[in-house]
Structure 1
Amino acid sequence: MAGVTVPGMEHAELDRRERDILALERRSFAGPGAKERAIREELGLAPVRYYQLLNALLDDERALAFDPVTVNRLRRVRETRRAER
C-alpha cells in the first residue's frame, strides 16, 4: 500500500467493493442518470447506499492511502457543498 500509513493499519486494505466505488468515482459519465445506472448495474447497489458507503470511505485513512487524488478531490467537493448549506 503506497502513501500514508496509519499505525496499526499497515496491513489493512480496502475490500473489492470499496476499491470499485473509488474506481467508479474516477470515471466521467455522459448524461443524466448514467452514473446511477452504472452504480446499479456494476456494483449492484442502490444509489442511496452507494453514496452512504462513499461518504464513509472519504473519512477512511485506508482509502486516502489507496487513492489520495480521488479521495482529496471528493473531500473538497463535500466540504464545498457543506459550506453552501
Structure 2
Amino acid sequence: MDHEQLARRERDILALERRAFTGPGAKERAIREELGLAPVRYYQLLNALLDDPRALAHDPVTVHRLRRIRERRRAER
C-alpha cells in the first residue's frame, strides 16, 4: 500500500464529513452504522486526520472547512 494514500476508513470519515445530516442523531447513527465506530472514537480519528497532510491532499476543501470550525471552537473556549 502506498503510504501517501489514506486508508479506506480515513477516506470514509472524510466522505461522511462532506454530507449534510438532517435531524438530531442522524450523523451519530451514520457513524455507528456505516463505519462501525463509536462517535467518540470517530471524532478522535477525525481530529487526527485534520492534522494529516495526506488528508489535506485527498480532500482539501473538507479539511480546510473542518480546521476552520475546530479553530473557531478552540478560540471560544
TM-score higher than 0.5 here?
Answer: yes
Residue of structure 2 in register with 1:16 after alignment: 8
The share of aligned pairs that are identical, in percent, is 86
TM-score by length of 1: 0.87
* Alpha-carbon RMSD: 1.1
Compare the two structures and name the one with the higher helix fraction. Answer: 2
Bigger RCO of structures 1 and 2 (CA < 8 A, at least 6 apart):
1
User: Taking structure 2 as the reference length, what is the TM-score of the superposition?
Assistant: 0.96
Once superposed, which parts of structure 1, at least 4 consecutive aligned residues long, lie more than 3 Å away?
A: none
Question: Larger Cα Rg: Structure 1 or Structure 2?
Answer: 1
Unaligned residue ranges in structure 1 (runs of 5+): 1-9
Unaligned regions of 5+ residues in structure 2, if any? none
Task: State the aligned residue count.
Answer: 76
Matched, 1:28 2:20: yes
